[in-house]
Amino acid sequence: MATPARIAFLGECMIELFERAGDEPGAMRRTVGGDTLNAAVYCRRALGRDPAVEVHYVTRVGDDPYGAEIPAFIEAQGVRATHVRVAPGETTGLYAISRDEGGERSFAYWRSAAAARRLLDDGEEDKLAAALEKFDALYFTGISLAILSPEGRDRLLALAARMKAADKIVGFDGNYRPRLWESREDAARVIRAGHATATLTMPGLDDERALYGDEDGHTAARRLLGFGASAAIVKSGSEPAVVAEPGRLREVAGQPVTRIVDTTAAGDSFNGAAMAVVLKGGGLVSAAFAGHRMASAVIGEYGAIVSPEHTLWPDGPSA
Residues with active-site annotation: 268
Q: Are strands 248-252 and 239-245 parallel, antiparallel or unpaired?
A: antiparallel
Q: CA triplet 112, 209, 203: central angle to 5 degrees?
A: 65
Burial class (CB in 10 A: 0-12, 13-18, 19+), 139: buried
Task: Annotate 240-278 with three-state secondary structure.
Answer: EEEEEECCEEEEECCCCCCCCCCCCCHHHHHHHHHHHHH
Distance CA 28, CA 44 (A): 27
Distance CA 304, CA 264 (A): 5
Q: Helix, strand or coil for residue 209? A: helix
Cβ atoms 14, 67 nearer than 8 A: no
The number of residues in the chain equals 319
Distance CA 87, CA 113 (A): 12
Q: Could you give the C-alpha distances from 315 to 1, 39, 46, 53, in angstroms and in order?
A: 20, 19, 8, 13
Distance CA 156, CA 37 (A): 17
- Which residues are paired to 110 by β-bridges? 94
**Runs of H (alpha helix) within 67-141:** 70-76, 125-132
- Name the DSSP class of 204: B
